[in-house]
């Protein structure tokens, strides 16, 4: 593995690193510590207490720039890097991750158009893991670092031979809900099977929660809201849903344009809104 950027690989069950990564079936690539637990819990839950499926998480940045308050109010960026690393490792242990990779890049590295180092390292890890499914951020996310991660993830996948690419790639919710996506285009991910695990994984990130952001309540509330408001004329089939956009077409067709891809979702949403109003106005 590339160690130039102080990449750290953590294997919760102690298996040899290459073997642990190779067994991956579900891979999540997030910008910050806790992004995996918020957006890719579907993959964590799918692999929890299974011996035939394994979840691997990749956290791309070091998390130094997070909001802080309470006992963390006077923490330096270096202090935050240490505490967020500790929290992410705790989550990996609790969630029984097969492997965790902490890449420790700066946000500026991820947002830089010229930085290909991140892309190459992601490509190396994806190829080693050879997952069936990848979860990452969505292209309509409002956080610039999240956009950097999803764009570099797509680039990394495109570097691989087509027979080494994942079957599915999902762009998931963190800093912008995907409720606006037309219903027939939403990917619905049921995450209701282990509510205690779902809550505990987000609650581990104490530096964020008492540090000024109630990600615990907001994440579970969003999932309940998604489930409840998903279908207006049907009884709920689940009490927790996460939404995603299917990014697979961008990862199978190297010529597909990213801007056209996400713009088409927005245009179809616009057309749907206008159509409904015109029926009644």
The yes-or-no verdict on residue 79 having pLDDT over 90 is: yes
pLDDT of the residue at 255:
96
- Residue count of the chain: 281
pLDDT for the residue numbered 232: 67
Sheet strand arrangement including 241-246: 8-10, 99-105, 55-61, 26-30, 133-137, 168-172, 241-246, 187-190
Taking the C-alpha atoms of residue 234 and residue 221, their distance in angstroms, rounded to an integer, is: 20
Dihedral sign for Cα atoms in the order 270, 30, 134, 122: positive
Query: Quick one: average pLDDT of 204-228?
Result: 92
The phi, psi pair for 237, rounded to 5°, reads -95, -15
- Indicate the class that CATH gives domain 8-280: alpha beta
Per-domain residue ranges of the chain: 8-280
C-beta separation of 220 from 199 below 8 A: yes
Count other C-beta atoms under 10 Å from residue 133's C-beta. 21
Give the model confidence (pLDDT) of 10-68 as tens digits: 999 999 999 999 999 999 999 999 999 999 999 999 999 999 999 999 999 998 888 78
pLDDT tens digits for range 156-165: 999 999 999 9
């Amino acid at each position: 593995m590339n160690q130039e950027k102080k990449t750290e690989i953590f294997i919760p069950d102690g298996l040899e690193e290459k073997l642990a990564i190779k067994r991956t079936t579900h891979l999540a690539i997030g910008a910050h510590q806790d992004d995996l637990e918020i957006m890719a819990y579907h993959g964590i839950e799918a692999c929890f207490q299974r011996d035939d499926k394994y979840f691997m998480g990749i956290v791309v940045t070091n998390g130094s720039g997070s909001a802080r308050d309470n006992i963390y109010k006077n923490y330096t960026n270096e202090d935050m890097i240490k505490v967020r690393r500790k929290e992410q490792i705790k989550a990996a242990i609790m969630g029984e991750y097969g492997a965790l990779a902490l890449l420790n890049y700066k946000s500026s590295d991820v947002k830089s158009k010229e930085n290909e180092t991140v892309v190459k390292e992601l490509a190396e890890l994806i190829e080693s893991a050879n997952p069936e499914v990848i979860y990452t951020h969505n292209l309509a996310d409002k956080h610039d670092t999240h956009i950097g991660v999803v764009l570099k993830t797509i680039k990394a996948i495109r570097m691989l031979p087509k027979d080494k690419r994942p079957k599915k790639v999902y762009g998931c919710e963190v800093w912008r809900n995907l409720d606006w996506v037309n219903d027939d285009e939403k990917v619905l991910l049921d995450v209701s099977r282990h509510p205690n695990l779902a809550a505990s994984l987000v609650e581990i990130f104490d530096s964020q929660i008492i540090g000024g952001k109630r990600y615990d309540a907001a994440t579970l509330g969003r999932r309940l809201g998604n489930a409840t408001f998903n279908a207006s004329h049907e009884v709920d089939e689940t009490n927790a849903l996460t939404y995603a956009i299917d990014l697979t077409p961008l990862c199978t067709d190297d010529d597909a344009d990213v801007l056209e891809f996400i713009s088409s979702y927005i245009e179809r949403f616009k057309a749907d809104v206008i159509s409904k109003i015109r029926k009644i106005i």
